[in-house]
Structure 1
Amino acid sequence: MKQKLSIVKIGGNVIENQAELERFLLNFSKLEGLKILVHGGGKLATKLASQLGIESQMSNGRRITDAKSLEVITMVYGGLANKNIVAKLQALGTNALGLSGADGNSIKAHKRPVKDIDFGFVGDIDGIASDFLNTVLNAGITPVFCAISHDGKGQLLNTNADTIASEIAIGMSPIFETTLYYCFEKKGVLKNVEDEDSVIQHINTATYSDLIQEKIIADGMLPKMENCFHALHNHVGKVCIGDISMLQPESNTFTTITL
């Protein structure tokens, strides 16, 4: 029987709120078994870029990463956000190791080809170094990944944190029984965006199609759900979406997604 592994992705709104971040990290530190944390930090990067006089460019909610933006992202994701999280986890008794995709050659990617839009230094993932991560996990260390990959030729690449979490879960699924958690500010996927308590507790392939047709799942939730089903179709056992209480053993108010 495979050992269980939890991969948890934390959203930027939680990272920005110190009280919420500390609550989340307390829950994460108490999560039983092996675990990996993935985080972004887009709002912090936008704020610092503005302070430095660097304009942040977006297209349909996705960041266009030029050379100067990549420098800010590296500072914020790989430095400020990552090391703050690692230090707080150490204080909670979780021996964490902050990583980018370049560290241990753990996440290799290629620069996204230019089609309609040139996204700049944005990476699409090619593969995960599962043997390296397995060694780290078996040494009793919890990896904490920022949303940066690399191309193996010396170039760092900004990479969507939801995608990184999904690809790590897929890459580790031959070794472990993997569960992927997307933790953000909502209690789950909502049937009515105006009603915070209208959580859809279970979604599968059939109901997902219905929810898209009814436009209940739309806009920013669509790419997140695409990552969920991509993971499930590639042998990830289960995907859950919810707020920071989702990681508590007694919690049952979140969305579980299965095939």
Structure 2
Amino acid sequence: MAVKTPVSIVKIGGAFLEEPELASTFYRNFAGMPGLKVLVHGGGKRATELSRQLGLEPRMVNGRRITDEASLEVAVMVYAGWANKSMVAALQALGCPALGLSGADADLIRARKRPVAEIDYGYVGDIEAVREEALHGMLQAGWVPVFCALTHDGKGQMLNTNADTIAAALAVALSSRYETRLYYCFEKPGVLTDIEDPASHVAVLDRKRYDAMVASGQIATGMLPKLHNCFQALEKGVGQVRIGLPDMLLPGAETFTSICL
């Protein structure tokens, strides 16, 4: 059986874009990663700020954003505009051949508008398909795809889609051809038993411990969809999933949380 080529799918939270020193460290770490790689980013903090400047009050439920028509316009402006192009420019300055994308570009990520159930999430997309062959072609051509948190429905409608979910979907799609490694970078050194104590990070989190931490309230709100995506990615063939600070992208890093089944 042929050995698969590794590819790293890295998701970075939009909060890092707001802190120049943190952003600079992340860009250097990501640009320095060897081999094929894909970047997925958020931008929720800046979208929230712009929404309020425009007189729109953001709404969140269980860590997920409610997206009405006006909020979608803000998301497209921030995610595909300022956030995406700022990251692409910063990476290009480091010699990283970044290519800024949304799911609509080249029909790379198609989604459907989430059906209304107990909660109407508005223009939020649930991913249906990733055009893996086109993404593979970009990687083989030497590009480093940089995805914002937007997809489309194939009928002209843009959809806001959780960036953690996009990263997991890309990793799953590429796992048929590559050895996939999924990294979720954020402002904590991993999953914590005490949110106020960075030293309380969990080195390895399996499903049993995850369920116990959810039951005890140690894992809640925004971490719930993130970790759900982690376990789902592993179940669908992703080889490795880690959560932690951007330093975990460096060789020899030890402080992060490895997710396992």
Output aligned runs, 1:1-259, within 5 Å: 1-259=3-261
Shift of 1:127: 1.1
**Alpha-carbon spacing, 1:70–1:213, altered in 2? closer, same or farther (3 Å):** closer
For each residue in 1:195-232, what CA deviation from the matched residue of structure 2 results, as whole angstroms up to 9, or x when unmatched? 11111111223333333344433333222111100000
| C-alpha contact 2:10 2:167 (8 A) present in aligned 1 | yes
What is the rounded CA distance, in whole Å, between the counterparts of 1:130 and 1:61 in structure 2?
A: 28
Q: Partners of 2:158 and 2:132 in 1: how far apart? A: 20
Listed as ranges, the gaps of 5+ residues in structure 2 are none
Q: Which amino acid aligns with 2:24?
A: E
TM-superposed CA distance for 1:59, in Å, is: 2.8
> 1:145-191 CA deviation, whole Å, 9 max, x = no partner?
00000000000000000000011100110010001000000000112
**Distance in 2 (alpha carbons) for counterparts of 1:64 and 1:237:** 32
Normalised to the residue count of structure 2, the TM-score between the two structures is 0.96
Deviations 1:8-54 (A, max 9, x none): 00012212212211110100000111000000101101111222223
Q: Under a length normalisation based on structure 1, what TM-score does the superposition of the two structures give? A: 0.96
Cα distance in 1 for partners of 2:210, 2:60 equals 28
CA distance in 2, matches of 1:67, 1:193: 34
CA distance in 1 between counterparts of 2:70 and 2:196 reads: 38
SS for the counterpart of 1:4 is strand
Flag the 1:206–1:57 CA change in 2: closer, same or farther, 3 A.
closer
Contact persistence 2:63–2:221 (CA under 8 A): no
Secondary structure of the 1:80 match is: helix
Q: Which amino acid aligns with 2:180?
A: T
Deviation at 1:124, TM superposition (A): 0.4
Shift of 1:193: 1.7
Identity of aligned residues (%): 55
Distance 1:258 1:13 in 2: 26
**3-state SS of 1:104 partner:** helix
Cα distance in 2 between the residues matched to 1:144 and 1:126: 20
SS of the residue corresponding to residue 98 of structure 1 reads strand
Q: Secondary structure at the match of 1:140?
A: coil
Where 1:125 maps in the other structure, the secondary structure is: strand
Task: State the SS of the aligned residue for 2:156.
Answer: coil
**In structure 2, C-alpha distance between the alignment counterparts of 1:28 and 1:133, rounded to whole Å:** 19
Alignment RMSD (CA, Å):
1.2
Deviation at 1:105, TM superposition (A): 0.4
